[in-house]
Amino acid sequence: MISIRNIIKRYRQKTVLKDLTLNIEKGKITAIIGPNGSGKSTLLSIISRLKDCDSGEVFLDKRSLKAYNSKELAKHLAILRQSNYINLKITVAELVAFGRFPHSQGRLSVDDHDKIEQALHYMELKTIKDRFLNELSGGQIQRAFIAMTLAQDTDYILLDEPLNNLDMKHSVQIMQILRRLVKDFNKTIILVIHDINFASCYADNIIALKEGKIIANGTVDEVVKEDILSEIYDMPIKIETYQGRKICNYFDPQEQVHLSNSTLPINK
């Protein structure tokens, strides 16, 4: 379990996480949702110790994050950050092999090679494993980065907007793989996701943030509610149930979403 206790994070004068306290269950998929700038990436960075917080503490399996050395932490927790710009001439397989670094220290064992092959297979990258990253599409690069994160083979997997750049088939495929990792290996997955229907259909729990505060935190059934989502996103959202799943509909062309004038590209 990850316990987050009274986390406050400021950037200069601005407080972007406002005293967050919550638990993230082990062996589940937890989706973090919320509008742009609500603090999702900052929260993920603090949980993975990529960023410090101004006050509060995070516990991983009841042990303070501060008590882990970097190598040890990398064996427990892997994070894929939001933007992965890479300008190195390396192949997909070489990138995925980086995920083994905390285990191999650069010398790959048979077990490391197995984990790399497995991750390439999961992500349907075997046919392009020897291609260079700079020759690939955004979606293929994204899948290679996810494969690298999976190859790290940690109990906790944190993914910041992993579905970015992916078409529908690959988005569904990734969510199915994540479900399988939870079911077969009891992994704990925390991901930031923009499409609330992916969160609704594939996550167990949802944390909803707005302006650095938790608006809702609970199971999909507890959080996917019209009043909660409409408040978070500041727009009307209708929910329908289809085959037992809650589907959010925010595509009503009759509804006017409020946009401030400055965001409208008006040609005078």
Question: Residue 182: which H helix or E strand, with range?
Answer: helix 168-185
Q: Please, which residue, 15 or 104, has the CB nearer to ligand ADP? A: 15
By CB atoms closer than 10 A (0-12, 13-18, 19+), residue 117 is middle
Q: Can residue 39 be called a binding residue for ligand ADP (CB under 6 A)?
A: yes
Query: Which residue has 């729990």 as its token pair?
Result: 205
User: Considering the complex, what minimum distance in angstroms separates the CB of residue 189 from Mg ion?
Assistant: 17
Which residue's Cβ has the minimum distance to Mg ion? Answer: 41
- Binding part of the chain for ligand ADP, among 32-40, 89-97, 136-144, 221-229 by CB under 6 A, reads 32-40
96 Cβ contact partners less than 8 Å away, ≥ 6 residues apart:
116, 119, 120, 125, 129, 144, 147, 148, 151
- Binding part of the chain for ligand ADP, among 39-47, 54-62, 67-75, 218-226 by CB under 6 A, reads 39-47
- Binding part of the chain for Mg ion, among 6-14, 34-42, 72-80, 174-182 by CB under 5 A, reads 34-42
Q: Please, which residue, 14 or 62, has the CB nearer to ligand ADP? A: 14
Single out the residue of 4, 7, 41, 163 in contact with ligand ADP (rule: CB under 6 A).
41
Q: Can residue 38 be called a binding residue for Mg ion (CB under 5 A)?
A: no
Q: Which does 11 bind (CB under 5 to 8 A by kind): ligand ADP, Mg ion, none?
A: ligand ADP
Q: Please, which residue, 83 or 243, has the CB nearer to ligand ADP? A: 83
Long-range contact set of residues 1-4: C-beta below 8 Å, sequence gap at least 24? 1/25, 1/26, 1/59, 1/61, 1/62, 2/47, 2/58, 2/59, 2/60, 2/156, 2/188, 2/190, 3/58, 3/59, 3/62, 4/43, 4/46, 4/47, 4/56, 4/58
Q: Can residue 37 be called a binding residue for ligand ADP (CB under 6 A)?
A: yes
Instruction: Summarize as ranges the residues that interact with ligand ADP (CB under 6 A).
Output: 11, 16, 34, 36-42
